A and B are shown apart, each in its own frame.
Chain A
Amino acid sequence: MTLSIQLDKLLMRVEKPGRYIGGELNTVKKDLSNIRTRFGFAFPDTYEIGMSYLGLQIIYHILNKVDSVYCERIFAPAEDMESLLRAEGLPLFTLETKSPIRDLDILGFTLQYELSYSNIVNMLNLGGIPYKSKDRDASYPFIAAGGPCAFNSEPLAEILDFIMVGDGEEVLPQICEAHKSWKESGSDKETFLRTLAEIDGVYVPKFYTPVYNDDGKIIEIKKNYDKAPDRVEKRILDDLDLAEFPEKTIVPLIEAVHDRAVIEIFRGCTRGCRFCQAGIIYRPVRERTKETIKNMALNQLAETGHEELSLLSLSTSDHSQIEPLVEELMAICKENNVSLSLPSLRLDSFSFKVLQDIQGYKKSGLTFAPEAGSQRLRDVINKTITDDDIYNGMEQAIRLGWTSIKLYFMIGLPTETYEDLDGIVEIAKNITAINYNVTGKRGRFNLSVSVSNFVPKAHTPFQWVPQDTADTFHKKHQYLRDKLKSIKGVSFNYHGTDPSHLEAVFARGDRRLCDTLIKAVELGCKFDGWREHLKYDIWMKAFLETGIDPDFYAHRERSYDEILPWDIIDTGVTKEFLIAENNKSLREEQSSDCRLSCIGCGINSRVECTMEGIK
């Protein structure tokens, strides 16, 4: 069954109908009669956001290379489309064949952000699929998830049939292969889940039952199936340079948030910032070689015709060949009338030289993230830049003609005091003074100070610490606003506390949040990551009605010996290391970048760290 005819009539009535039509260049068409596994890659946000996500392109490419598998795409419909679908009694559909999502075999959601969970529940509802795993028989698709939030997917544990932890390139085809055999065998759902539980990197939540104490803490996680692993080790792709990477990427017909060719230059990060979850879960650092990157860039540009090329990694400047790589890519781009975009550069002299070359006289703004305002607090979080680094970088930028600079900070970091906030004000003041010294002018210079609220994340050295309360955040915002107001040329932005609070609850949540999530969606919550859609008061109502105290998750200090809901997942980084790092943070001690020497996180007992001690 396909919804093409009914859908066609709805498209004239929605904003941006191009979101729902599919048929973009490099999309894959397959004859369904030869397909054993119909896979839906589901992105729980709108088309424009989902199509900017490289992971979608990688998985789409890898799965569609398998003859027996057809991977199609599904996005969250915007509000107007959702209302029309509901009014017409039509289900959520895939872009490729316009099939109801219920007709698929496996529906895989990517978990990029905690505040997209409500969209997952809403999308299941729009597909006519029961929320909980136990309420779905084998006639429904298996509901799966992967991505960064899969490292603590406990709030979704009762919804998801299985979760893929770690790099997806190898495990996904393996799962589809297992699905094909299972389908041919005609066995029941339980049999398939048991098979999956034995695949490395696959977590089947129903095979584990947490037992809670009267105080709400977990006393034990019981295993219900012998052959399920005691802890699920994340999958690690050991050679990124040899890994499959898409060159014929899908080229959106309408403008996506990022409309460009993208090459992932390395995975992982060696810097060890203590607040950063990505820095832990993507270990170890694995690079693509300069030649591989160049080839991929050339081929992707040729296959897509994109006018912009961007490099993806957690810290571009850290690629071991960054200087020659960037120089050679610049030459390629110049020749092809393509612009080069280099996110997350370190502000060293090479970066400025490159930015000067790329941007010339039409400079875009310069963005820089010191994260904390004082040296003391930067030691606590292990962000290893100094005041001198900041000021030297800013002076160079201003000398080269940048007039718009954006600084990112986090507030609510562990041990933070108002003196640390004064440090933010100090930095802003000093940069405007540098501008005046260099240019002799105060006008036409804009320094934007942007502050986000720290959210402690699972699997980081800060996984035990409480988040600041909304009240504390408000006071800190007020304090900064008053102090920054008086500095000419400085503008101040901060993130709302409501989304930060919800994010903190779900980032370290457990299975009991599942009913709250479903309740919130039933009460109308969705697109929580969008400021204009977040209904915080309704969320609070959902917590109340389901008897859950959100502060138990967000604001409670956990002890080292507490069993954490995400302990079931093994990132390869030991708990001892996380504890040692958190203790060091309290002593305001830094840890070195592991390119200088190994700091003993434990990942090298699983795989080789090729970047260890290379400097």
Chain B
Amino acid sequence: MSRYSVCFYKSGYIRYISHLDLLRLFKRSFKRVGIKLKYSQGFNPHPKMSFAQPLSLGYTSSSEYLEFETIDTYPTETIVNKLNSSMPEGLGILSCEELPASGKSLAAMTETADYEIIIPAKNVLNQDISGLIDKYISQNEIMVFKRQKKGGKDIEINIKPLIFDIEGEANENQILITAKLAAGSSSNLSPELVLASFCNFAEIQYDRAQVSIKRTAIHFNN
């Protein structure tokens, strides 16, 4: 029995499939390439496999992580090659690493994630986006409304402690924001809230459907 993690990218149209769809996709990919996963015991066995951090529908990513346990042991490059031979368009395995047989899950170790947010906007070249970002992050607190998972009520929270780094720049027709945000099960900040609160602060008009968001890294503690 061995435990591995793979790092993969998600780009193009396939960003429109959900977290659960991606989980099913990987289950089937392992079956196709003949890597036998270890199954959980019990009435309803399922393969031992999970993502470090779910990726919202519509986001692309250059660095997602999936961990899994296999019955047999493989060289890591075999896992990369096998999976890459059977991926649909827009998905690809970048690397594979063997994990200690027992130890914390990647999800439990996830601490922060980096995002790139691109907002199409006309004639923003002259705007000092970088200055606006500085002012935004220099506020004492950044209050936003967030819908609670349980109960569905909107509560107001301060997201400033969850933003570890944020920068912005503009070119002729778009604004690029890069940010390192809290991620993981203990505290997590969606880039949607940063996008909305910054644009509100800077009085930037935007259409959410035109904005693209890419996750560029997930950082773990050890």
Contact B32 A253 (CB under 8 A): no
Whole-angstrom CA separation of A254 from B19 in the bound complex: 10
Whole-angstrom CA separation of A588 from B183 in the bound complex: 72
Instruction: Report A271-308 residues with CB < 8 Å from chain B CB.
Output: 301-307
Whole-angstrom CA separation of A104 from B187 in the bound complex: 51
Whole-angstrom CA separation of A361 from B42 in the bound complex: 12
Across the two chains, which residue of chain A brings its CB closest to B29? A305
| Chain A window 383-411, contacts with chain B (Cβ cutoff 8 Å), 1 for yes, 0 for no | 00000000000000000000000000000
User: Chain A residues with Cβ under 8 A from B32's Cβ?
Assistant: 302-305
Contact A307 B90 (CB under 8 A): no
Contact A361 B28 (CB under 8 A): no
| Chain A window 13-31, contacts with chain B (Cβ cutoff 8 Å), 1 for yes, 0 for no | 1000110111111000000
Q: Contact partner of B30 among A13, A303, A305, CB < 8 A?
A: A305
Whole-angstrom CA separation of A307 from B208 in the bound complex: 37
Contact B21 A17 (CB under 8 A): no
Contact B16 A305 (CB under 8 A): no
User: Chain A residues with Cβ under 8 A from B12's Cβ?
Assistant: 23
Asked if A306 meets B28 with Cβ closer than 8 Å, knowing A12-B209, A23-B88, A254-B21, the reply is yes
Whole-angstrom CA separation of A307 from B86 in the bound complex: 16
What distance in Å separates the Cβ of B56 from its nearest Cβ neighbour in chain A? 11
B221 at the interface (CB under 8 A from A): no
Q: For the side of the interface on A, what is the size category?
A: 20 to 34
What distance in Å separates the Cβ of B171 from its nearest Cβ neighbour in chain A? 20
Q: Contact partner of A254 among B18, B86, B90, CB < 8 A?
A: B18
Contact A22 B13 (CB under 8 A): yes
A251 at the interface (CB under 8 A from B): yes
Whole-angstrom CA separation of A361 from B43 in the bound complex: 9
Contact A25 B86 (CB under 8 A): yes
Instruction: Report B53-96 residues with CB < 8 Å from chain A CB.
Output: 57-58, 86-90
User: Chain A residues with Cβ under 8 A from B29's Cβ?
Assistant: 305
A444 at the interface (CB under 8 A from B): no
Whole-angstrom CA separation of A337 from B21 in the bound complex: 19
Whole-angstrom CA separation of A175 from B86 in the bound complex: 34
Q: For the side of the interface on B, what is the size category?
A: 20 to 34
Across the two chains, which residue of chain B brings its CB closest to A98? B13
B24 at the interface (CB under 8 A from A): yes
User: Chain B residues with Cβ under 8 A from A8's Cβ?
Assistant: 13
Interface SS of A by simple majority? loop
What distance in Å separates the Cβ of B118 from its nearest Cβ neighbour in chain A? 13
Q: Contact partner of A307 among B16, B28, B87, B88, CB < 8 A?
A: B28
What distance in Å separates the Cβ of B59 from its nearest Cβ neighbour in chain A? 11
User: Chain B residues with Cβ under 8 A from A615's Cβ?
Assistant: none
User: Chain A residues with Cβ under 8 A from B89's Cβ?
Assistant: 23
User: Chain B residues with Cβ under 8 A from A307's Cβ?
Assistant: 27-28, 31
Contact B21 A304 (CB under 8 A): no
Contact B21 A23 (CB under 8 A): no
B25 at the interface (CB under 8 A from A): yes
Whole-angstrom CA separation of A361 from B25 in the bound complex: 28
Whole-angstrom CA separation of A55 from B90 in the bound complex: 27
User: Chain B residues with Cβ under 8 A from A353's Cβ?
Assistant: none
Instruction: Report A351-393 residues with CB < 8 Å from chain B CB.
Output: 361-362
Whole-angstrom CA separation of A323 from B14 in the bound complex: 42
User: Chain B residues with Cβ under 8 A from A11's Cβ?
Assistant: 13, 16, 58
A336 at the interface (CB under 8 A from B): yes
Whole-angstrom CA separation of A307 from B31 in the bound complex: 8
Across the two chains, which residue of chain B brings its CB closest to A253? B17
What distance in Å separates the Cβ of A406 from its nearest Cβ neighbour in chain B? 23
Which of B31, B57, B58, B90 has most A Cβ within 10 Å?
Answer: B31
Q: A25-B87, A253-B17 are in contact. List 18 more A-B contacts (CB 8 A).
A: A8-B13, A9-B210, A11-B13, A11-B58, A12-B208, A17-B57, A18-B16, A20-B16, A21-B16, A22-B13, A23-B90, A255-B21, A259-B24, A304-B28, A305-B27, A305-B30, A306-B31, A307-B28
CB-defined A-B contacts under 8 Å, sample of 22:
A9-B210, A12-B208, A13-B209, A18-B17, A20-B16, A21-B14, A21-B17, A23-B12, A23-B89, A251-B28, A253-B14, A253-B17, A254-B17, A254-B18, A254-B21, A255-B21, A255-B24, A259-B24, A305-B27, A305-B86, A307-B28, A337-B31
